[in-house]
Amino acid sequence: MTDEVHIHTHGRAGHLSLNRPKALHSLTLDMCHAMSAALTDWDNDDAVEAIILDHAEGRGFCAGGDINLLRNSALNDGGTSGRAFFHDEYQLNHQMMTYSKPIVAFMDGITMGGGVGIAMPCKFRVATENTRFAMPETGIGLFPDVGGGWHLSRLTGRMGQFLALTGARLDGAECLWAGIATHYLPTEKLAEAKARIAEHPDRIAGILSELSVTPPPARIEGNADLIAKHFASDRYEDILESLEADDSEWAAKELATLHTKSPQTCKVALRQLAESQKLDNFADNMVMEYRIASRVLTRPDFAEGVRAVIVDKTHDPKWDPATPEGVSDELLDSIFAPLPADEEWKPL
Residue 2: pLDDT above 80? no
Residue 36: pLDDT above 80? yes
**CATH at 56:** 3.90.226.10
Question: pLDDT tens digit string along 159-175?
Answer: 999 999 999 999 999 99
- Tell me, yes or no, whether 119 lies in a domain: yes
- Tell me, yes or no, whether 102 lies in a domain: yes
- Tell me, yes or no, whether 348 lies in a domain: no
Q: Name the average pLDDT for the chain.
A: 97
- Tell me, yes or no, whether 224 lies in a domain: yes
What's the number of domains the chain is made of? 1
Q: Which residues are catalytic?
A: 65, 114, 137, 145
CA distance 199 to 11: 6
Residue 86: pLDDT above 90? yes
281 Cβ neighbours under 8 A, 6+ residues apart: none
CA distance 125 to 56: 17
Report pLDDT for 199. Answer: 98
CA distance 59 to 62: 9
The total number of residues shown for the chain amounts to: 348
Read off the DSSP letter of residue 259. Answer: T
Question: pLDDT tens digit string along 254-296?
Answer: 999 999 999 999 999 999 999 999 999 999 999 999 999 999 9
Instruction: State the amino acid at position 49 in one-letter form.
Output: E
User: For residue 243, what are the domain limits?
Assistant: 5-343
- Tell me, yes or no, whether 61 lies in a domain: yes
Residue 67: pLDDT above 80? yes
225 Cβ neighbours under 8 A, 6+ residues apart: none
CA distance 40 to 114: 20
- Report residue 344's pLDDT band, with 50, 70 and 90 as the boundaries: very high
Determine the 3-state secondary structure of 95 from DSSP. helix
Residue 57: pLDDT above 90? no
- CA dist 128 to 105, 181, 255, 275, 343, Å? 11, 9, 30, 32, 40
Question: pLDDT tens digit string along 118-160?
Answer: 999 999 999 999 999 999 999 999 999 999 999 999 999 999 9
- Cα-Cα-Cα-Cα torsion 9, 10, 12, 14, nearest 10 degrees, comes to -40
Report pLDDT for 152. Answer: 98
User: Are the C-beta atoms of residues 126 and 147 closer than 8 Å to each other?
Assistant: no
- Report residue 188's pLDDT band, with 50, 70 and 90 as the boundaries: very high
The mean per-residue pLDDT over the stretch 305-322 comes to 95
CA distance 16 to 52: 6
CA distance 156 to 222: 15
Report pLDDT for 294. Answer: 97
The mean per-residue pLDDT over the stretch 313-337 comes to 97
Report pLDDT for 1. Answer: 58
Determine the 3-state secondary structure of 100 from DSSP. coil
Read off the DSSP letter of residue 235. Answer: S
CA distance 294 to 312: 25
189 Cβ neighbours under 8 A, 6+ residues apart: 211, 213
The mean per-residue pLDDT over the stretch 163-192 comes to 98
Read off the DSSP letter of residue 215. Answer: P
The mean per-residue pLDDT over the stretch 336-346 comes to 98
